[in-house]
C-alpha cells in the first residue's frame, strides 16, 4: 500500500491520545472508517486542527509496519462549526457519527456523501434539524441495503391497506403487517408517516427535508426512526439516551 494517501473524509470522533496528541476516527471515501493519529494537536497552533464534523481532503501517512495512519495535513471543505455552537445540533451530529461508527457498513463513498450532506443541512437549514435527523436514518437504511418497500409486508407479501398501521419485526429487522409482527408493539408507523417515508424515499436529501410535517407527525416519525436506528445498530446508542435529539 502507498505510504502517502489522500482521501476525502469527515472526522467522526476525536479523543486525547497521550499527552499532546489526538486520536481521530475518520470516515474516509477510500479507506472506510479508520483511526488517524493527529500528533501534537493539543499544544501548538501550527498543527492541523481536525475537529469533529470537519469535512475535507485528508493527507495521511500510512505506516505499513505498524498499520496506522498519521494526519499530515487537512484541506477543509466545510468545518461545520455552526453545529458545535448549538446543543441540539451538536447532539444530532454526534448521533450521526455514533451511528456510523457502530453500524460500520455500507459503501464508504455513499456513507460519506450522506453524512457530508446531512452536516451541511444541519448547518444551513438548522431550523429543519428534526427532518434532517429523520431523513438521515431513512437514507442510511437504504445505503445499508436494509430498507424495504413500505407498500406491502415483506414477510407475507400482502399489500397494506391505505389506512393500515405498520409494525416492526425485530427478527426480520424490517417493517411488517400486524399479523407478522411479534410481541413488539412499541415501534409502529401510522399510515400518514408511512406515506411520508414512501414519498420522500425517491427525493434528494434537500428536497425531502423541505417537505413540511405538522408537529405531531414530526414527533411520531422521529420517535419511530430513532427506535428503528437502535434496532439496526448492534449496540446501545449513547447519544439516544441524552434526551437532546
CB of 144 to Zn ion, least distance (A): 22
Q: How far is the CB of 152 from Zn ion (least distance, A)?
A: 8
Residue 87 near Zn ion by CB under 5 A:
no
* Residue 111 within binding range of Zn ion, rule CB under 5 A: no
**115 touches Zn ion by CB under 5 A:** no
Q: Please give the residues from 138 up to 157 whose contact with Zn ion meets the rule CB under 5 A.
A: 153, 155-156
H helices of 69-156, in order, are 81-84, 87-103, 108-124, 129-143
Binding mask 11-50 for Zn ion (x = CB under 5 A): ----------------------------------------
Give residues with Cβ within 8 angstroms of 243, minimum separation 6: none
User: What phi-psi label fits residue 95: left (phi over 0), alpha (psi between -120 and 50 degrees) or beta?
Assistant: alpha
Question: Which listed range, 84-92, 114-122, 135-143, 172-180, lies at the site for Zn ion (CB under 5 A)?
Answer: 172-180
Instruction: Please report how the helices 87-103 and 129-143 are oriented relative to each other, as an axis angle in degrees rounded to 10.
Output: 10
Give Cβ neighbours of residue 102 (< 8 Å, ≥ 6 apart).
Answer: 233, 234, 235, 237
Q: Is 170 helix (H, G, I), strand (E, B) or coil?
A: coil
The 177-216 site mask, x for binding Zn ion (CB under 5 A), equals: x--x------------------------------------
CB atoms within 10 A of CB 107: 13
Chain residues that interact with Zn ion, rule: CB under 5 A? 153, 155-156, 177, 180
Amino acid at each position: 500500500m502507498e505510504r502517502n494517501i489522500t482521501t476525502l473524509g469527515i472526522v467522526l470522533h476525536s479523543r486525547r491520545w497521550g499527552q499532546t496528541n489526538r486520536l481521530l476516527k475518520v470516515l474516509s471515501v477510500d479507506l472506510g472508517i479508520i483511526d488517524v493519529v493527529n500528533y501534537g494537536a493539543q499544544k501548538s497552533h501550527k498543527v492541523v486542527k481536525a475537529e469533529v464534523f470537519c469535512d475535507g481532503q485528508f493527507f495521511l501517512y500510512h505506516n505499513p509496519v505498524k498499520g496506522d495512519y498519521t494526519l499530515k495535513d487537512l484541506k477543509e471543505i466545510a468545518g461545520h462549526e455552526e453545529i458545535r455552537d448549538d446543543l441540539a445540533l451538536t447532539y444530532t451530529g454526534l448521533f450521526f457519527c455514533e451511528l456510523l461508527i457502530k453500524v460500520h457498513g455500507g459503501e464508504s463513498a455513499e456513507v460519506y456523501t450522506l453524512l457530508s450532506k446531512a452536516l451541511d443541512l444541519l448547518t444551513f437549514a438548522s431550523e429543519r434539524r428534526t427532518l434532517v435527523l429523520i431523513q438521515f436514518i431513512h437514507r442510511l437504511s437504504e445505503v445499508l441495503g436494509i430498507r424495504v418497500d413500505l407498500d406491502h409486508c415483506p414477510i407475507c407479501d400482502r399489500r397494506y391497506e391505505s389506512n393500515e398501521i405498520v409494525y416492526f419485526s425485530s427478527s426480520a429487522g424490517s417493517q411488517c403487517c400486524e399479523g407478522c409482527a411479534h410481541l413488539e408493539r412499541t415501534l409502529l408507523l401510522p399510515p400518514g408517516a408511512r406515506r411520508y417515508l414512501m414519498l420522500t424515499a425517491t427525493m434528494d436529501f434537500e428536497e425531502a427535508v423541505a417537505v413540511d410535517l405538522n408537529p405531531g407527525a414530526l414527533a411520531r416519525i422521529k420517535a419511530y426512526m430513532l427506535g428503528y436506528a437502535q434496532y439496526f445498530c448492534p449496540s446501545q446508542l449513547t447519544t439516544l439516551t441524552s434526551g437532546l435529539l
